[in-house]
Chains A and B, each alone.
Chain A
Amino acid sequence: MQSSTATASFESPPIDAVGVEERVARLCSRSIKKDAKLRALHLTLSMIDLTTLEGADSEGKVRQLCAKALQLHAALPDLPHVAAVCVYPALVGVARRALEGSGINVASVATSFPAGQAPIEIKLLEVQKAVEAGADEVDMVISRGRFLAGDFTYTADEIASVKEACGEAHLKVILETGELGTLDAVRRASDLAMRSGADFIKTSTGKIKPAATMPVVLVMLEAIRDHYLRTGEKIGMKPAGGISTAKDAIRHLVMVRETLGQDWLDPDLYRFGASSLANDVLRQIVKQRSGIYQSFDDFSM
């Protein structure tokens, strides 16, 4: 739909940070118990992008992560599978082979993740290589330096050209909100990304703190909502970094439910970028079913 930079506008509404924090506090006061909790835990699992993004990642490490994605817990029946496994471009092929036929997507970071400080030609080539190797989803980073310098046209063009390089692959645009400084900037970057072709907007690389804080995510959800109400286009959301407990994840689901409604409570439109979240969710599921907490050693890495 309206993704060309020619029609992109850089207008964004002002955000009142104090008001956002109050709204978040109120959302956090929701009490999720019993059936509602169990359903939320299952939903969370189905939304996880199981992630490894270390310099030391090897084929063995990625195969191990894919095996975990395929079998989250040997003894629990009826568990949903995670949405995707997220790796560096060099390891996309390994993940692709390990996950073939499972319904689990392969996501790859690209565009010189995490800093994004590379020439655009190299970023586009990296995207192209990741897609050729079998990535279903590409997680790009925006050039925060150019964005903070006020060069919104550059940022918009960059996103649009990465989108083009993605072809059929879905594009998640990482704003790295921890480097943007204000919620106004988060809103502006969200609007810009959606108008330039993002399928998902994503908070963070996970390499910078703070990452997916609740106020930042709320502002992004409200941007998605406004974009939808204006264009009819449903953009997805992916908080990443800092969400490590089931309790945090459920708070996010509450926020999604009350900001975007039921349609976004779906792995097609909401993802958690996380490495340790899955096991805490599994632990809570076991607790909900058996009434007792198990040791973390009872859950595979």
Chain B
Amino acid sequence: MTKSTQAAEPETPKLRFGGHDGWGYAPAPESTDHVELRDRYGLFIDGEFVDAKDGRTFETANPATEEKIADVALASDADVDRAVAAARRAYDNVWSKLAPRERGKYVYRIARVLQERSRELAITESLDGGKPIRESRDVDIPLAAAHFFYYAGWADKLDYAFPGRGARPLGVAGQVIPWNFPLLMAAWKIAPAIAAGNTVVLKPAETTPLTALKLAEIIRDAGVPPGVVNIVTGAGETGAAVVQHEDVDKVAFTGSTEVGKLIRRALAGSGKHYTLELGGKAANLVFEDAAVDQAVEGIVNGIFFNQGHVCCAGSRLLVQESVADEVIAKLKDRMETLIVGNPLDKNTDIGAINSRAQLDKIEEYLEIGEAEGAEPFQTSCPVPERGYWCRPTLFLHASQSHRVVQEEIFGPVLAVQTFRTVDEGIAMANNTPYGLSGGVWSDKGAKAFRVTSRIRAGVLWANTYNKFDPTAPFGGYKESGIGREGGLAGLHAYLQPEAAA
């Protein structure tokens, strides 16, 4: 019988998700056989791979195993100087003189080769950065290709994009990108820049240089003229050299608010154009009239996508008090089904934390949250012994004054708060130094629009979260940055602002 007919002592109903005593999934790792990785990678300058002038290198490792993957050239000021000079020559002599349609052809070609090599790139991204193959395969790489396709289309249509403005490129762009979406961020930066007619010097993050270097191979193989795209690897000092180089006309940075502030200071009075895409502490607002199960799924996607290493992550859950118990109970149940582990396993939901340093930072916040009085909840999912891991975590009963509510953790940690009225929810959503993104969950369309219009953030989603599209501008209010990337706004950021004479 399936029904309890006896009035026995009622047990609290509880769902059992554990795979230990029931049916679980066998490992399903993606094969790495056909992925070629070299032991040593150089800088990509003027169409060639070269060693750093002083011969220095650094190691890049797999965060899931802590094993070294390759030695990568460490660019010094002199190397950055070479790269900027190559970019300047390419701009002056080749790229700015090329017919826009021809420029577009190269960008299309890069997009197509990205698609052709998508499997290899996805595996490399997961090996080097720790993100689950499901995401690198289904999100990072397809979106990277989509950005090149989208901006390739604009290359010969700039006069239609900004009619009467005499669209002209800026010159040499210096670009510094983070480790959370290595190839995708490279695409966000390079595609609009070169489609608009600029040349670039790009610095990938020191923990995840490999896909950018594979992109350099693709750019070379696509026949893009030498010097149009240069990629210099290294840590913060290399990035500073790129940003501060006097022959760079435009700086594009994605990373922490802390570094963003330094860059803004350094650029003051320099006359350089710049866009900064910085941190966030987005709120996901769940109203009592929301479709709860779908909202829970959105909360999970919002914070646990890419281990929470997402600047627009929905890292604060604001749930209306009347449905808080139900939402939190369902969220906990859903979290119990999340699989943490080998990034290359096709069933992994949450991969490795990108680096030891980032794991330390997250663990510090776990201590801070507890000390501040929030109630932690972690799932029971087993994690591997080696590598950097963090189970999906909630901080229940968090308060607006807590650091775990105000500061960006950049990990799979969700601060949970409740609100009573629409106005209170909006006020709490806006009450941080950031303003990058946000989510609203309500079955009432008019309410969703009204609420999103009152949240001061650059990107807002209603009844969904973490949806990206090359046609949509992305960027922040307040300490989340300046300028927009993606869409026409992202193209405009690489063009002279003056009206035509």
Q: Which residue of B lies closest to A168 (CB)?
A: B1
**Across the interface, which residues of B come within 8 angstroms of A200, CB to CB?**
2
Asked whether any CB of chain A lies closer than 8 Å to the CB of B22, the reply is yes
**Interface segment, A36-44, A79-87, A102-110, A139-147?**
A36-44
Beyond A228-B13, A261-B15, A265-B22, is A170–B291 a contact (Cβ under 8 Å)? no
**Interface set, chain B 291-332, CB cutoff 8 A to A:** 291-295, 297-298, 329
**Contact between chains at B25 and A23 (CB < 8 Å):** no
Encoded as 1 (CB less than 8 Å from any A CB) or 0, chain B from 21 to 57 comes to 1111111100000000000000000000000000000
- The distance from the CB of B361 to the nearest CB of chain A, in whole angstroms, is 29
- The distance from the CB of A240 to the nearest CB of chain B, in whole angstroms, is 18
CA distance A59 to B363 in the complex (A): 69
Q: Which residue of A lies closest to B441 (CB)?
A: A16
**Across the interface, which residues of B come within 8 angstroms of A14, CB to CB?**
289-291, 443
Asked whether any CB of chain B lies closer than 8 Å to the CB of A1, the reply is yes
Encoded as 1 (CB less than 8 Å from any B CB) or 0, chain A from 216 to 251 comes to 000000100100111111111000000000000000
Asked whether any CB of chain B lies closer than 8 Å to the CB of A263, the reply is yes
**Across the interface, which residues of A come within 8 angstroms of B138, CB to CB?**
29
Asked whether any CB of chain B lies closer than 8 Å to the CB of A121, the reply is no
**Contact between chains at A229 and B13 (CB < 8 Å):** yes
**Contact between chains at B23 and A253 (CB < 8 Å):** yes
Asked whether any CB of chain A lies closer than 8 Å to the CB of B4, the reply is yes
Q: Which residue of B lies closest to A269 (CB)?
A: B2
Beyond A232-B10, A257-B23, is A19–B2 a contact (Cβ under 8 Å)? no
Asked whether any CB of chain B lies closer than 8 Å to the CB of A295, the reply is no
Asked whether any CB of chain B lies closer than 8 Å to the CB of A180, the reply is no
Beyond A23-B297, A261-B16, A262-B22, is A234–B3 a contact (Cβ under 8 Å)? yes
CA distance A40 to B26 in the complex (A): 11
Asked whether any CB of chain A lies closer than 8 Å to the CB of B347, the reply is yes
**Contact between chains at B23 and A222 (CB < 8 Å):** no
**Across the interface, which residues of B come within 8 angstroms of A260, CB to CB?**
15
**Interface set, chain B 257-314, CB cutoff 8 A to A:** 289-295, 297-298
Encoded as 1 (CB less than 8 Å from any B CB) or 0, chain A from 252 to 289 comes to 01000110111101001100000000000000000000
Beyond A19-B291, A29-B346, is A1–B463 a contact (Cβ under 8 Å)? no
**Contact between chains at B463 and A19 (CB < 8 Å):** yes
A-B contact count (CB 8 A): 106
Q: Which one of B23, B28, B295, B298 contacts A39 once the chains associate, using CB atoms below 8 Å? A: B23
Asked whether any CB of chain B lies closer than 8 Å to the CB of A22, the reply is yes
Q: Which residue of A lies closest to B289 (CB)?
A: A14
Beyond A14-B291, A269-B2, is A232–B28 a contact (Cβ under 8 Å)? no
Q: Which one of B2, B25, B346 contacts A36 once the chains associate, using CB atoms below 8 Å? A: B25
Beyond A14-B289, A29-B346, A235-B2, is A19–B297 a contact (Cβ under 8 Å)? yes
**Contact between chains at B18 and A262 (CB < 8 Å):** yes
Asked whether any CB of chain A lies closer than 8 Å to the CB of B134, the reply is yes
**Contact between chains at B3 and A199 (CB < 8 Å):** yes
Asked whether any CB of chain A lies closer than 8 Å to the CB of B449, the reply is no
Asked whether any CB of chain A lies closer than 8 Å to the CB of B432, the reply is no
Encoded as 1 (CB less than 8 Å from any A CB) or 0, chain B from 100 to 139 comes to 0000000000000000000000000000000000100010
Beyond A31-B347, A199-B3, A232-B11, is A13–B291 a contact (Cβ under 8 Å)? yes
Q: Which one of A13, A33, A235, A258 contacts B26 once the chains associate, using CB atoms below 8 Å? A: A33
CA distance A35 to B295 in the complex (A): 34
CA distance A91 to B310 in the complex (A): 61
**Contact between chains at B4 and A233 (CB < 8 Å):** yes
**Across the interface, which residues of A come within 8 angstroms of B443, CB to CB?**
14, 16
CA distance A22 to B296 in the complex (A): 12
**Interface set, chain B 325-359, CB cutoff 8 A to A:** 329, 337, 346-347
Asked whether any CB of chain A lies closer than 8 Å to the CB of B464, the reply is yes
**Contact between chains at B26 and A262 (CB < 8 Å):** no
**Across the interface, which residues of B come within 8 angstroms of A253, CB to CB?**
23
Given contacts A39-B23, A228-B13, A263-B15, 18 further A-B contacts (CB under 8 A): A16-B463, A19-B294, A19-B295, A19-B298, A22-B297, A23-B293, A31-B28, A33-B26, A35-B26, A37-B26, A199-B2, A229-B329, A235-B2, A253-B23, A257-B17, A260-B15, A262-B17, A262-B18
Q: Top 4 nearest A-B pairs by Cβ distance?
A: A19-B294, A262-B22, A31-B28, A16-B291
Q: Tell me the A residues contacting B by CB distance below 8 Å.
A: 1, 13-16, 18-20, 22-23, 29-37, 39-40, 43, 170, 199-200, 222, 225, 228-236, 253, 257-258, 260-263, 265, 268-269
